[in-house]
Structure 1
Amino acid sequence: MKKLFGFLKPYALQVVVIICVLMVQAYCDLSLPAYTSDIVNVGIQQSGIDEKVPEALAGEDLNLILAFVPEEDRAEVADAYEESSDSYDYEGTVMALKEQVKEDDSQLEELSDQMGLPMVMAMAAEESGINMNGAEGMTGEASGQMEDLPDSMVEQAVAAYIQSAYEKIGIDVGDISSRYILSTGGKMLLLAGLGMAASILVGLMASRVGAGLGRSLRERVFRKVVGFSNGEFDKFSTASLITRSTNDIQQIQLLTVMILRMVLYAPIMAIGGIWNVFHTNVDMSWIIALAVVLIFLLVAVLFAVVMPKFRILQNLVDRLNLVSREILTGLSVIRAFGTEKHEEERFDDANKDLTRANLFVNRAMTFMMPTMMLIMNAISVLIVWVGGHSIDEGTMQVGDMMAFIQYTMQIIMAFLMICMISVMLPRAAVSAERVDGVLESHTLINDPEDPEKLPEESKGQVVFDHVSFRYPGAEEDVLEDISFTAEPGQTTAIIGSTGCGKSTLVNLIPRFYDVTEGSIRLDGHDIRSLTQHDLREKLGYVPQKGVLFSGDIASNILFGNPDGTDEEMEEAARIAQATEFIEAKKRQYHSHIAQGGSNVSGGQKQRLSIARAIAKHPAVYIFDDSFSALDYKTDVALRGALKEKTEDSTVIIVAQRISTIMHAEQILVLDDGKIVGKGTHKELLRDCPEYYQIASSQLSEKELEQDMKEVG
């Protein structure tokens, strides 16, 4: 969870704005039950009469009320009214509340306290047919009985009395009720509209933050992965990196939107709902506590059961991606060896494991929803049952019970939203840890804080000075005490048995790995003192396996020199012996190249890779067994054209064929990670048994005898 909120730090301002808008939405939603209660209690039951003292009443009614008012308050109550100048459908005197009293809330509140019980008693006296004289006699006895009445019953009785007082003087109570209901309903519509607008705005902002976070994380992960050395790729599998860049970030993005839209909204609603409940009817607040406890128990059980499955789930996604990628990449080999059935079973096993884990999680969620609904409905029934008794006892009004139900549902729905997110949260938390694992991983290859600068006109001299190397975590060196100098204008070739460390040696020059001991220098500068960009700008690297990118032939040749001209592109293709097959295509240099170069042959792919290095015009050419896919004729023609092009550059060639390197100015013979021979072809035939053994296995007896005669 900490990682998730850490990713949101750059969006702190947007999150604050979203919280503010959520508060507006919560205020609107929490206000609606109170208005519903008012419509039922006041608009319907009290005919729209919400005042606690009558604003106008018959003179005789005021006198009757005054008879029940304590003697010390009578003068103050009488002084609050004056004879009305308005016309009423009533023949007697009408007394109206003075304007200054109407505008003074504190005086109105005091007047309400003074007239409340007397109005109830006056209504009771009228219903019993008691006159003024009788009222004076029953004041003390009735007052004691009335004081025991619940406040809600007194309020309802006061409203009923005011209604009858208004009807007596000819005021249309039905019109008051209609106006109150319409006015309150209009306010509800405005609040609902404002809440809807806030909800839409929050949805838009949350989506923007979520999409921005996803884009930012994908960009950061991609930049980090691009900067990985081969050591990091050994630690994170390609399938896992793809899952982390897609599925894991998608989980984080989805949860971010849900957090901003629902998780932040839920506690605001829950706190607001609980506050309103305590101001509606505290006697039933224990029902809310019961509901919350039940929900938390359910969530705790779900967490205990489901949480361990989420990390397993993401690992199973990794495994499925890995199996799928291996099968699709090696499909031709699978068909050639007839192992389709075995691979289908392997994929089916990975697929079934992922399906079982998903089913377990989904079943847990499906169990949660009906249980939550059961709790909600049971709580609703409990509220109605308890509320019904309260209404029967006169301690609660119908509208209050309706508002209480709505507040309770809002509180439970808030916790329900949190519970729904809580099921997603563990998986997203695992995803956040996996993404953070990539972002926080320590890259073995780093640029120096104060890098040195190479001169613009680099010569390209490469010096290996007592270099040793072992792979991270390995116990033995792969290369041991390697020392040689590759001079500009010369070709340095490296040959040896399979697994002797040839490719590893040339991979140290572009810093795919860093040396364990010793140093590699380019024009006198330790390559670790240069930035990776500056170093690799001087190198033209052709890997052992030709790699092409989706696009066209032109974009692949000019990949390392995007500003290169058509003449440079065509020259590179000509030197790489690629012109013939390029010009045979309908669109020539604009011919489409599929992903990975799957629509060209191995030899064509290799020649385009060589052309890509040539078009860059580097100071140092590195060919890692790059001529193995070429036939002998093409190999000879390519090396001849390349010799002219690279006469001022340093050329380092890793090869398996003697014919490819026999004309090199310097040949290094590797055996078990050590240089066992160094010299020209003829010198090595004479002095190096390992080289002679390789030559005798590849050259004819006649060629070997001729070379040995020249040596002798």
Structure 2
Amino acid sequence: MLRLVRYLKDYKVESVLAPLFKFLEAAFELLVPLVIAKIIDIGIGNKDSDYIIKMGILLVTLAVIGLTSAIVAQYFSAKAATGFGTKLRDDLFAHILKFSHAETDILGRETLVTRITNDSDQVQNGVNRFFRLVLRSPFIVAGAFIMSFNIDAKMSLIAFVVILILSIIVALIMSKSIGLYRNVQRKLDKVLGKTGENLTGIRVIRAFSKEKSEISEYDTATEDLYKDQVRVGNISALLNPLTYVVVNLGIVAILQAGGIQVNIGNLTTGQVVALINYMSQILVELVKFANLIILLAKASACAKRINEIFDIKSSIKGGNSELVLNDFEGDIITFENVGFAYPKSKEEAISDITFSVRKGETIGIIGGTGSGKSSLINLIPRFYDISRGSIKIAGRDIKEYTLESIRKNVALVEQKSRLFRGNIRNNLLWGDESATDEELYKAADIAQATDVINSKEGKLDSEVAMYGNNFSGGQKQRLSIARSLVKRAGILILDDSSSALDYATDSRLRKAIREIGNITTLIVSQRIVSIKSADRIIVLDDGKIVGIGTHEELLENNPIYKEIYSSQIMTEED
């Protein structure tokens, strides 16, 4: 938790005032039993109505001041805690966005979502409760003990024994619950992961009628989480009954011993009532403090999980040079004996890759499923780092450039088109926030997406649902390509991004892209028709290059390319 205190630096005043006003509230609360004792001993004992009214007004005044202090303390603690939580989540999200694909692959989406949401909320709640109770509860417990000591030293020993026993109970419960709370959070990760997996693949599940088996697996995961939650809940639930039993036994002891002292004249009735009130205050505050400790234990476990994310640094570090492609001539991309393996994988996904791409050239990349096509193109914008060899852009090692300048000059359209909730204009402006409507429509014309935009009533302002679910697969692909073209990057990578398009639309798209000029294009596809007119075609098989050349050259000399062509020729003729 201490490592996260830095997020309170902008809330120093609130962090001081919140516990201070709670402290003030507690101070006035400790005076109440003394006032009640005087009302009983003096006002009621002497039948002095004026004194009772005067002291009654004092009680109301103490209550009003205490309530005002509590409201002010709640305001400052809520302001500091929510500000803390907001800054924490923002920083955590920004930190996660710096991860390479390697880190996100290892960690998994579900645990990252849990730590940004649930874990952050638990820590924020802990900070809020900490400000409200960190001074109040210990002060009232200590103050009530001192007040009872001033009334009668012997009677205060009962309060001391009660405090000691309750402290032992709290320590035991806390020691048992901290580890269990960590297990609960880990199992919550699994449940969220299963939830996300099922919601993402809901169509596949229904297509294969696997609802029952998926429900069974989900029930098993939630049952496992439920058992741990019940277990830690049962341990935490022991706190209240045990504390109430101990404190009520203490009150019984005070009543018995106090009654004897009243009979022999050592104590007054009001003093005994005051002692009981102080014991009740100790009870309430110890229960609050014990719950605070348990909450802080939970928050501490969540803070540790958040810090684990902060401790992970991206394996990809950018250089200091800025990549500029406008005035460069020659080989714009060069792979030299490149090998790459995914995290925790012993085998390389691609091996001994060597080729170069000249500026303005269109390169086709083809191969069977699992041949390494997507792995290869993901290395160009440095989503992953290579295991060996070197990649050069504009004649310099890719690691010498800043990540921002590399990705500014590389436009990538992935296999799975991703649109974000908002409207069409906002999605296209991801390419260039300053682009005009004219530039957006120009990019849409090239991407064959103008009809998609014009078919909507709101045109560029038409709504885009989450994941772009109100568009077809082909429409999403064309809008994704338009978004990349708005970027006006020097390198355009199309990773099987026209698979949902018909041949005619695909043909018009490729022709329009070739006419852009001053752009280097890499087209990854499993359809020969999509790359047939490329300047050169790279054929991949089992992670290795098995052929480079034009369509005619490969058809004549490369058996793998010829085999792919033969399997698709009937479709092309059709």
TM-score for the superposition, normalised by structure 2: 0.93
Distance in 2 (CA, whole Å) between partners of 1:206 and 1:264 is 13
Deviation at 1:301?
4.1
> Residues 239 and 287 of structure 2 are in contact (CA less than 8 Å); yes or no, is this contact kept in structure 1?
no
> Residues 178 and 297 of structure 2 are in contact (CA less than 8 Å); yes or no, is this contact kept in structure 1?
yes
Find the counterpart in structure 2 of residue 258 from structure 1: 129
Deviation at 1:304?
4.8
Deviation at 1:5?
5.1
> Residues 333 and 392 of structure 2 are in contact (CA less than 8 Å); yes or no, is this contact kept in structure 1?
yes
Residue correspondence of structure 1 range 376-395 to structure 2 within 5 A: 376-395=247-266
CA deviation map 1:110-164 (0-9, x unaligned): xxxxxxxxxxxxxxxxxxxxxxxxxxxxxxxxxxxxxxxxxxxxxxxxxxxxxxx
Distance in 1 (CA, whole Å) between partners of 2:432 and 2:518 is 19
Find the counterpart in structure 2 of residue 654 from structure 1: 524
Deviation at 1:489?
1.4
Q: 2:414 aligns with which of 513, 526, 543?
A: 543
> Residues 244 and 283 of structure 2 are in contact (CA less than 8 Å); yes or no, is this contact kept in structure 1?
no
> Residues 492 and 665 of structure 1 are in contact (CA less than 8 Å); yes or no, is this contact kept in structure 2?
yes
**Structure 2 residue 564 is the aligned partner of structure 1 residue 694:** yes
Find the counterpart in structure 2 of residue 454 from structure 1: 323
Deviation at 1:573?
1.6
Find the counterpart in structure 2 of residue 18 from structure 1: 18
Deviation at 1:508?
0.8
Distance in 2 (CA, whole Å) between partners of 1:458 and 1:245 is 43
> Residues 3 and 429 of structure 1 are in contact (CA less than 8 Å); yes or no, is this contact kept in structure 2?
no
Evaluate the alpha carbon distance shift between residue 23 and residue 458 of structure 1 in structure 2; reply closer, same or farther with a 3 A threshold. Answer: farther
Find the counterpart in structure 2 of residue 55 from structure 1: none
Q: Which has the larger radius of gyration?
A: 1
Distance in 1 (CA, whole Å) between partners of 2:139 and 2:274 is 18
Find the counterpart in structure 2 of residue 664 from structure 1: 534
Find the counterpart in structure 2 of residue 442 from structure 1: 313
Distance in 1 (CA, whole Å) between partners of 2:543 and 2:245 is 71
Deviation at 1:553?
2.2
> Residues 453 and 530 of structure 1 are in contact (CA less than 8 Å); yes or no, is this contact kept in structure 2?
yes
Deviation at 1:384?
1.0
Distance in 2 (CA, whole Å) between partners of 1:185 and 1:529 is 78
> Residues 103 and 314 of structure 2 are in contact (CA less than 8 Å); yes or no, is this contact kept in structure 1?
yes
Distance in 1 (CA, whole Å) between partners of 2:480 and 2:385 is 25
Residue correspondence of structure 1 range 114-129 to structure 2 within 5 A: none
Find the counterpart in structure 1 of residue 355 from structure 2: 484
Structure 1 residue matching 2:390: 3-state secondary structure = strand
CA deviation map 1:608-665 (0-9, x unaligned): 11111112111110111112222211111111111112x2111111111111112111
Residue correspondence of structure 1 range 289-304 to structure 2 within 5 A: 289-304=160-175
Structure 2 residue matching 1:668: 3-state secondary structure = strand
Find the counterpart in structure 2 of residue 598 from structure 1: 469
Find the counterpart in structure 2 of residue 677 from structure 1: 547
Distance in 2 (CA, whole Å) between partners of 1:23 and 1:279 is 21
Amino acid at match of 1:380: I
Amino acid at match of 1:36: I
Distance in 2 (CA, whole Å) between partners of 1:581 and 1:453 is 36
Structure 1 residue matching 2:188: 3-state secondary structure = helix
Distance in 2 (CA, whole Å) between partners of 1:404 and 1:588 is 76
> Residues 621 and 650 of structure 1 are in contact (CA less than 8 Å); yes or no, is this contact kept in structure 2?
yes
Amino acid at match of 1:656: Q
Distance in 2 (CA, whole Å) between partners of 1:297 and 1:695 is 78
Find the counterpart in structure 1 of residue 450 from structure 2: 579
Please, which moves more after superposition, 541-550 or 433-442? Answer: 433-442
**Structure 2 residue 249 is the aligned partner of structure 1 residue 249:** no
Distance in 1 (CA, whole Å) between partners of 2:98 and 2:43 is 70
Q: 1:187 aligns with which of 58, 61, 77?
A: 58
Find the counterpart in structure 2 of residue 282 from structure 1: 153
Distance in 2 (CA, whole Å) between partners of 1:683 and 1:533 is 38
Distance in 1 (CA, whole Å) between partners of 2:145 and 2:212 is 62
Find the counterpart in structure 2 of residue 273 from structure 1: 144
Q: Which runs of 5+ in 2 are unaligned?
A: none
Structure 2 residue matching 1:273: 3-state secondary structure = helix
Amino acid at match of 2:514: K
Amino acid at match of 2:540: L
Distance in 1 (CA, whole Å) between partners of 2:572 and 2:411 is 37
Residue correspondence of structure 1 range 234-633 to structure 2 within 5 A: 234-448=105-319, 451-455=320-324, 457=326, 459=328, 461-633=332-504
Distance in 2 (CA, whole Å) between partners of 1:181 and 1:477 is 88
> Residues 494 and 667 of structure 1 are in contact (CA less than 8 Å); yes or no, is this contact kept in structure 2?
yes
> Residues 254 and 276 of structure 2 are in contact (CA less than 8 Å); yes or no, is this contact kept in structure 1?
yes
Find the counterpart in structure 2 of residue 37 from structure 1: 37
Amino acid at match of 1:683: E
Distance in 2 (CA, whole Å) between partners of 1:277 and 1:356 is 44
Cα RMSD (Å):
2.3
Structure 1 residue matching 2:523: 3-state secondary structure = strand
Distance in 1 (CA, whole Å) between partners of 2:477 and 2:16 is 55
> Residues 365 and 538 of structure 2 are in contact (CA less than 8 Å); yes or no, is this contact kept in structure 1?
yes
Find the counterpart in structure 2 of residue 133 from structure 1: none
Structure 2 residue matching 1:228: 3-state secondary structure = coil
Deviation at 1:679?
1.9
Amino acid at match of 1:679: G
Distance in 1 (CA, whole Å) between partners of 2:260 and 2:571 is 113
> Residues 496 and 524 of structure 2 are in contact (CA less than 8 Å); yes or no, is this contact kept in structure 1?
yes
Distance in 2 (CA, whole Å) between partners of 1:277 and 1:446 is 64
Deviation at 1:694?
2.4
Deviation at 1:284?
1.2
Structure 2 residue matching 1:699: 3-state secondary structure = helix
Structure 1 residue matching 2:515: 3-state secondary structure = helix
CA deviation map 1:57-116 (0-9, x unaligned): xxxxxxxxxxxxxxxxxxxxxxxxxxxxxxxxxxxxxxxxxxxxxxxxxxxxxxxxxxxx
Evaluate the alpha carbon distance shift between residue 626 and residue 459 of structure 1 in structure 2; reply closer, same or farther with a 3 A threshold. Answer: farther
Distance in 2 (CA, whole Å) between partners of 1:582 and 1:15 is 51
Distance in 1 (CA, whole Å) between partners of 2:395 and 2:50 is 94
CA deviation map 1:657-681 (0-9, x unaligned): 1111121112222222222222222
Give the length in aligned residue pairs: 571
> Residues 3 and 433 of structure 1 are in contact (CA less than 8 Å); yes or no, is this contact kept in structure 2?
no
> Residues 510 and 535 of structure 1 are in contact (CA less than 8 Å); yes or no, is this contact kept in structure 2?
yes
Find the counterpart in structure 1 of residue 72 from structure 2: 201
Deviation at 1:240?
1.6
Deviation at 1:12?
4.4
Evaluate the alpha carbon distance shift between residue 491 and residue 377 of structure 1 in structure 2; reply closer, same or farther with a 3 A threshold. Answer: same
Find the counterpart in structure 2 of residue 641 from structure 1: 512
Residue correspondence of structure 1 range 23-102 to structure 2 within 5 A: 23-45=23-45, 47=46
Distance in 1 (CA, whole Å) between partners of 2:539 and 2:13 is 63
Distance in 2 (CA, whole Å) between partners of 1:404 and 1:532 is 69
CA deviation map 1:190-228 (0-9, x unaligned): 332222111111111111111111111111121112222
Distance in 2 (CA, whole Å) between partners of 1:275 and 1:367 is 28
Distance in 2 (CA, whole Å) between partners of 1:586 and 1:454 is 41
Deviation at 1:10?
5.6
Structure 2 residue matching 1:395: 3-state secondary structure = coil
Distance in 1 (CA, whole Å) between partners of 2:14 and 2:139 is 18
Deviation at 1:491?
0.4
Q: Which runs of 5+ in 1 are unaligned?
A: 48-173, 704-712
Distance in 2 (CA, whole Å) between partners of 1:212 and 1:458 is 47
Structure 2 residue matching 1:484: 3-state secondary structure = strand
Deviation at 1:6?
6.3
> Residues 458 and 619 of structure 1 are in contact (CA less than 8 Å); yes or no, is this contact kept in structure 2?
no
